[in-house]
């Protein structure tokens, strides 16, 4: 599968983000970003990683810095290190998220004044392994996927990955897949919005840590890829950056 199979999704996403006035800048890593060395502080973190992981790590950091330069023309490039749970540590005034699949890497950033937190996820559109379904899907989610067979089986997985990233800055834990139940609201056959309901034993403790802000979730897919994005809104952004 070629990277350009994602180009239509990428273009649609940026158009939608501009229309929503979120202030979110979404950047797709270029080929050069996979090869270009990062800051020495970043290179230390991946010194013992396999080459594939090193390339993905570098591409994600370079794409994130490109997004931040678009958001803030006076931004000075700096290392993006990792936290206690391997999460990327963005500047305090920036909300950000990074995701990659085998041949694509994306980064999204926004000013925290507008977006309190965000999460993105990109997956190849391949069937979820049978043995994973019982630990990823709730009973109701499995019913939806069984009834609506045009939906990718990776969609719920991708959405939950983006939700974990979005919620993490507030809850500071990666909760189980079955602690979140996703409801889809399709806009058409290949895109839509989603909501999240926290369930399970950790529900009350997680809810207590989340901000009382508007939450939005969006998804889009084609024959090759599944993408999800979600965020907490602080305020609208009239001058949404144009990202590439």
Instruction: Confirm whether residue 183 is marked as ligand binding.
Output: no
To the question of whether residue 124 is assigned a binding role by annotation, the answer is no
122 is in an annotated binding site: yes
CA angle 55, 60, 63 (to 5 degrees): 120
**Pairing between β-strand 94-100 and β-strand 191-198 as defined by DSSP bridges:** unpaired
Q: According to the annotation, is 53 in a ligand binding site?
A: yes
Neighbour-count burial of 186, counting CB atoms closer than 10 A to its CB (0-12 exposed, 13-18 middle, 19+ buried)? middle
5-43 residues labelled b (16+ CB within 10 A) or e (exposed): ebeebbeebbebbbebebbbbbbbbeeebbeeebeeebe
Among 113, 124, 80, 84, which Cα is nearest to 98's?
Answer: 80
58 is in an annotated binding site: no
Pure H helices in 137-222? 139-147, 154-171, 203-209
Rg of the chain on CA atoms, in Å: 17
Strand partners, 105: 100
112 assigned ligand-binding residue: no
Residues 6 or more apart from 175 whose CB is under 8 A from it? 164, 167, 200, 202, 206
165 labelled binding-site residue = yes
Residues that constitute the known binding site for CoA:
53, 61, 99-100, 121, 161, 165
Residues that constitute the known binding site:
53, 61, 99-100, 121-123, 161, 165
Residues that constitute the known binding site for Mg(2+):
121-123
């Amino acid at each position: 599968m070629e990277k350009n199979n994602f180009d239509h999704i990428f273009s649609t996403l940026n158009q939608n983000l501009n229309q929503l006035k979120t202030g979110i800048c979404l950047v797709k890593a270029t080929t050069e970003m996979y090869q270009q060395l990062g800051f020495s502080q970043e290179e230390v973190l991946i010194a013992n990683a396999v080459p594939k992981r090193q390339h993905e790590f570098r591409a994600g950091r370079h794409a994130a810095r490109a997004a931040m330069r678009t958001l803030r023309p006076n931004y000075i490039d700096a290392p993006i290190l990792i936290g206690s749970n391997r999460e990327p540590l963005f500047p305090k005034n920036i909300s950000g998220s990074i995701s990659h699949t085998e041949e694509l890497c994306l980064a999204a950033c926004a000013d925290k004044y507008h977006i309190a937190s965000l999460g993105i996820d990109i997956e190849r559109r391949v069937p979820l392994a049978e043995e994973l379904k019982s630990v990823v899907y709730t009973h109701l989610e499995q019913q939806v996927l069984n009834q609506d067979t045009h939906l990718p089986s990776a969609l719920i997985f991708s959405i939950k990955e983006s939700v974990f990233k979005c919620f993490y800055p507030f809850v500071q834990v990666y909760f189980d897949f079955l602690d979140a139940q996703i409801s889809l609201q399709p806009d058409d056959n290949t895109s839509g919005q989603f909501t999240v309901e926290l369930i399970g034993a950790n529900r009350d403790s997680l809810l207590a840590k989340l901000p009382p802000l508007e939450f939005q979730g969006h998804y889009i897919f084609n024959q090759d890829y599944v993408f999800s994005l979600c965020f907490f809104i602080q305020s609208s952004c009239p001058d949404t950056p144009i990202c590439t």
